[in-house]
Amino acid sequence: MTLRIHNNDKVLRAPQAIIFDTDNTLYAYDRPHSQALAAAERKAAKLLGVAADEVSGAFARAREDVKRQLGKTASSHSRLLYFQRGIEILGRKTQLVITLDLEQTYWRTFLSHCELFPGVREFLQALRSSGIGTAIITDLTSQIQFRKIIYFGLDDCFDYVVTSEEAGADKPQEAPFRLAIDKLGIDPARIWMIGDHPVNDIAGARPFGISTLLRVDRNHEGRDAGCDVEFDDFTELHQFFFSGKVDGVSQFAGAHAR
């Protein structure tokens, strides 16, 4: 697909700040997750002396249990809690050393398989050069989300980071968006939100009057996501943003940053 504008009035005026989601917006989540979970399950099977399929089933059930108990909170995404509960489901009681080992194995493997989408870094650098504010709203606990941003070398690309742990609630609840807006100190009507999830990112941002941009997978067949823009390529978004079509954005700044 190419970049699709659904609401010219919302995106042909330069924002003062852009808020980004992280997972599946700046990088592809599924492959690193699959590799990391497989590595943790292999280690668990070896350390606990349990068949691989039993480990896999216990961890899947543990994830459901944790999410059901904690609801839409940062801790509901905790691999540490998934592994603790999974080991207990396997009848091994609480095994703190193994649980910590599995969590470290998961995230070490996860990060080693992560890659930013093409054009992300260049777009962020161009925004910085143009004086446009930047922030992140992301679900999960702060420590691992901070580690991801640092791993990608993007820690100097954002003015503010808001995690659902800090906000006390996951998207699309109001708290993370309200906290990011307060930190930026900018009228929401002059803010863009870029994310991959029609509900968590797009529907969550819309009540504030924020302009919404949905990153979709390539060859995506359009759906009514209620967003102002759909795109699948940050390089194309970069070119659009600095093309002169967005009023108040300097073409020179975008070209200089590339």
Tell me phi and psi for residue 156, to 5 degrees. Answer: -100, 10
HSE on the CB side for 128, CA within 13 Å? Answer: 16
Q: What's the pLDDT score for residue 121?
A: 97
User: Which one is catalytic: 9, 23, 159, 233?
Assistant: 23
pLDDT digits (tens, 9 = 90+) for 109-158: 999 999 999 999 999 999 999 999 999 999 999 999 999 999 999 999 99
Question: CA 168 → CA 87, 125, 162, distances in Å?
Answer: 27, 30, 10
Placement of tokens 């089933």 in the chain: 57
pLDDT digits (tens, 9 = 90+) for 204-224: 999 999 999 999 987 555 555
pLDDT digits (tens, 9 = 90+) for 38-80: 999 999 999 999 999 999 999 999 999 999 999 999 999 999 9
Has 156 been annotated as catalytic?
Answer: no
3-class SS at 212?
Answer: strand
Q: Given a cut of 90, is residue 16 above it in pLDDT? A: yes
Average pLDDT value over all residues in the chain: 93
Residue type, 31: R
Q: What's the pLDDT score for residue 257?
A: 46
Of 27-41, 47-61, 92-106, 218-232, the one with minimum mean pLDDT is 218-232
Q: Given a cut of 50, is residue 83 above it in pLDDT? A: yes
Q: What is the domain partition of the chain in residue ranges?
A: 4-28+115-257, 30-112
pLDDT digits (tens, 9 = 90+) for 166-205: 999 999 999 999 999 999 999 999 999 999 999 999 999 9
Q: Given a cut of 90, is residue 225 above it in pLDDT? A: no
CATH class of 4-28+115-257: alpha beta
CA angle 89, 84, 53 (to 5 degrees): 50
Model confidence band, residue 2 (pLDDT cutoffs 50, 70, 90): confident
Residue type, 8: N
Q: Are 177 and 209 in contact (CB under 8 A)?
A: no
Has 21 been annotated as catalytic?
Answer: yes
